[in-house]
Structure 1
Amino acid sequence: MNRRSLALGLYVTTRPGGSGIIDAENWPERPDGPVIWFHCRDIADYENARAIIRQSNETRDDVSYVLTGSGQPDSTNSDGTITTLSGPGRTPQDIKNFAKHFQPDALIWIGGAIDPLILTATDKSVPKRYLICANSNDIEPPNKRWFWGMRRALVSRFDAVFATDAASMAKFAKWGATESKTIGSFEEDSPLLPYNDAEYRDVIDTLDTRPVWMAVDAVLPEIKTVIAAHKNACKRSHRLLLIVVPRNETDAPAIAQTLTASGIETVLRSDADPTETTRAVVADMSGELGMWYRVAPLTYFGGTLTRSSRHPFEAASLGSVVIHGPMTAPYSRSYDKLDAAGGAYAIRNPSDLASAIEALLSPDKAAKFAHAAWAVTSSGAEVTNRVADLIDEITR
């Protein structure tokens, strides 16, 4: 055994690794046909995997999938083709039992944060292993410093490494990758939300040429912030209409009452269409968010000033400029990419929301943000297609 293998062996026997809580008794039976195992770092990678699966299913309906590591609750979809588990286990034997049960044809490891325990425990039980959308700076898990020589010992275990850029590809090759290619950055995918075209056209006709902005995932404690921003923006744009989509539909009446009490003429979507004097609509009807993103060129993501967020690509992929605060988990990487590309408007505190809305009322400025966001959200399509092609090649 060489020094690199000794270092790796010492690491996996002295450091915790793996993921999840094993509940083998409740594992579903292995599906018939090929099985692909995706291991994900977090919920964003989980959604990347789901995007790949959707694309793969366009041409293949005989492949099943097991997704681990994302922190999502254990589940199996209705036809048994997608199983989500918290992890393969936290001991070598747990992981071997997992691999023996599901007998995956391949393991596809998304992104970085390689877990030495999982990788070494599957040396003999998983025929093919691939590292995709990997940046050379991200393969070492945070707060888990590797021993010298472990990079080569781990990277060389993958049948192929698909790197985010040429510099990373060169490093992976240097670290012993059997095959190293550039695939690009995998932008976390959020499926386009559906909408009713007839309803959309009816709303557009009703609004005519009125400017619109939206607050999505709104909750009562932050309505005062939204109200202040709307009143400030109305000084510049007198016909401006606010759409409020509550996080919980049951809050809609109370939100509408709060808006009305502040002097903003408000209607519930379920009660009436807005008139020329209406200044706010509380969208209390389920299944319409995709339509409202298409209607509103600006969307403030409620909760990002205080707690957590929803996926920004929901709005960005439909041309609505994302306005957000600093609390962007669990989709921080998506927000960061939009911010870096100039495709989202970041605010630091409640008072910043008013100035953000005012600034983005300029159609030219909003268009620049929307165009930059579109470039980010659309760039992941090629990666999705290439990984789907890889699955087709593996499972032929």
Structure 2
Amino acid sequence: MSELWAKAALQTYRWLGAAAFPFMGTYVAFRASRGKEEHSRRRERYGRSSVARPDGPLIWVHAASIGETGAVAALIQRLRGIGIEVVLTTGTVTSASFARERLGPDLLHQYVPLDIKPAVSRFLGHWKPDLAIFAESEIWPMTILELGARRIPQILINGRMSDRSFRRWQKRMALAESLFENLAHVAAQTELDGERFRALGARPVTVTGNLKADVAVPPVDEEELRRIAASINGRPCWAAVSTHDGEELVAARVHKALRRYRKDLLTVIVPRHPDRAPAIRNMLEERGLVVASRSAGEPLTPGTDVFLGDTIGEMGLYLRLASIAFVGKSLSGEGGQNPLEAAMLGAAVLSGPNVSNFAEAYERLIAARGARFVTDETSLAKMLHHLLSQPRTCEAMARAGARVVSEMGGALDRTWAALDPYVHPLRVEAALRGDAQGGERESILTDADRPRRGFLGWK
């Protein structure tokens, strides 16, 4: 009965998507009007592309937002380095901009199609991927079903399963098994994540670690860094990064509280979504704070209270300016944000308690005394005051955090090893095609040579 229920639920999902498809234009247009979609590329959300598919083997990699895109960037570089074409899809405008900056303008990038059969089918019909790789927790029923129907292997890497998501899937075990059994492999971040994916029907599952701990050191324009650091001129500086709604107000209040003791304090605020910057600036100025916006090129003066980091791809700059970093989505949001970049760049890490999405990273940082939790703006202000007054303690935290990041390395190599059975045949094909001379080149490997795992019972 449970299997019949799962099939009925998936069939209903398919029908509802098909029924909604004619009306999705209004939804996408509304998002475009609010800057959440690129107006000129809206057709990509329906699976339509103006970019030709290149010859040879191609892998589809999907990363929802900036964090996931940064995590898979090194993997994409490796794949391209062995001659395999990659089409990267993301779901946000900011992640698309980040991908271009991190991976170069020659990267094939598309916006991910809506999880509706006509859009997914059109996307797959155009790109014809040999392998699909999804990052972290991207589980889209129709996409999974359509890939399964085409016998295209689909692999989840850097897989994580939050407490809330696991509880939701447990209530729908038959549905979970009907979807997760389609995954050819799950490379999970932690043992707990791996256990949860196995419990939901995924096989095989390996634990490879967190790719976000293996990311390259965030780049920076050294000349700009020197220029801005010179304008700060040794002022005490802390940063609130990857902030969500409500946390910028906390940062503003904390700045005003600390300024009574440190009149030259500079606060750097880097919102997770830069499109919120105008509203954040208004809020700060209403509270009497002097703001310098990075996107506007406004100079930092001795009277500047807040440096507003409202640009994409410059986290490496902002974190190098501060000795202490509060990592957001942890006080007013849920799940937290990745603390490893801040630790990697030598900042003492502070966070609110809501960090379930990065539990392992925080457990290790806290255990090593490379990070500390705060519960509200009062405790944040007290901790900042303490660390600013005790530079040796601050430096010891920073060293401990950097050591933890170093110890957590190796996830990229372990993920690469897990992918090898699926990537190796494509690598051979790419190499043989590269050696072919002239004329129309045929595929060297047959479908029988490539690993396939289909979705049983769904066509």
Shorter-chain TM band = 0.5 to 0.7
- The code of the aligned residue for 2:383 comes to A
- The code of the aligned residue for 2:323 comes to P
CA shift digits 1:46-66 (9 cap, x unpaired):
442334324544x34542223
Question: Using the alignment, how far apart are the partners of 2:129 and 2:228 within structure 1?
Answer: 49
Structure 1 residues 292 and 147 mapped into 2: Cα distance closer, same or farther (>3 Å)? closer
Aligned to 2:55: 32
Give the secondary structure class of the aligned counterpart of 1:127: coil
Structure 1 residues 8 and 146 mapped into 2: Cα distance closer, same or farther (>3 Å)? farther
State the shift of 1:10 in Å. Answer: 2.6
- The code of the aligned residue for 2:145 comes to T
State the shift of 1:383 in Å. Answer: 2.1
Give the secondary structure class of the aligned counterpart of 1:31: coil
Is 1:359 aligned with 2:386? Answer: yes
- The code of the aligned residue for 2:108 comes to I
State the shift of 1:30 in Å. Answer: 2.1
Which of 357, 368, 390 aligns to 1:333? It is 357
Question: Using the alignment, how far apart are the partners of 1:340 and 1:311 within structure 2?
Answer: 13
Q: Unaligned regions of 5+ residues in structure 1, if any?
A: 261-267, 273-277
Structure 1 residues 24 and 108 mapped into 2: Cα distance closer, same or farther (>3 Å)? closer
Aligned to 2:11: 13
- The code of the aligned residue for 1:67 comes to T
Question: Using the alignment, how far apart are the partners of 2:314 and 2:64 within structure 1?
Answer: 31
Give the secondary structure class of the aligned counterpart of 1:122: helix
- Percent identity, aligned pairs only, is 21
Question: Using the alignment, how far apart are the partners of 1:151 and 1:181 within structure 2?
Answer: 19
TM-score (norm 2): 0.60
Question: Using the alignment, how far apart are the partners of 1:206 and 1:24 within structure 2?
Answer: 47
Which of 303, 311, 320 aligns to 1:294? It is 320
Structure 1 residues 42 and 12 mapped into 2: Cα distance closer, same or farther (>3 Å)? farther
CA shift digits 1:133-188 (9 cap, x unpaired):
33577796774666555555444433333233456657767877664433123437
Give the secondary structure class of the aligned counterpart of 2:149: coil
State the shift of 1:319 in Å. Answer: 0.9
Superposed CA RMSD = 5.1
State the shift of 1:293 in Å. Answer: 2.7
Aligned to 2:446: none
- The code of the aligned residue for 1:338 comes to Y
Aligned to 2:344: 317
- The code of the aligned residue for 2:362 comes to L
- The code of the aligned residue for 1:229 comes to L
Which has a greater percent of helix? 2
Aligned to 1:183: 208
Question: Using the alignment, how far apart are the partners of 2:146 and 2:320 within structure 1?
Answer: 48
State the shift of 1:292 in Å. Answer: 5.2
Which of 222, 231, 234 aligns to 2:260? It is 231
Structure 1 residues 345 and 61 mapped into 2: Cα distance closer, same or farther (>3 Å)? farther
Q: Is the 8 A contact 1:313 1:334 kept in 2?
A: no
Aligned to 2:39: none
CA shift digits 1:3-42 (9 cap, x unpaired):
7864542331134698996423445332333322234466
Q: Is the 8 A contact 2:323 2:347 kept in 1?
A: yes
Is 1:85 aligned with 2:111? Answer: yes
Question: Using the alignment, how far apart are the partners of 2:172 and 2:149 within structure 1?
Answer: 23
TM-score (norm 1): 0.68
Q: Is the 8 A contact 2:65 2:94 kept in 1?
A: no
Question: Using the alignment, how far apart are the partners of 2:12 and 2:412 within structure 1?
Answer: 37
Is 1:242 aligned with 2:266? Answer: yes
> What count of residue pairs does the alignment treat as equivalent?
369
Give the secondary structure class of the aligned counterpart of 1:187: helix
Give the secondary structure class of the aligned counterpart of 1:49: helix
Moved more, 279-288 or 187-196: 279-288
Give the secondary structure class of the aligned counterpart of 2:113: coil
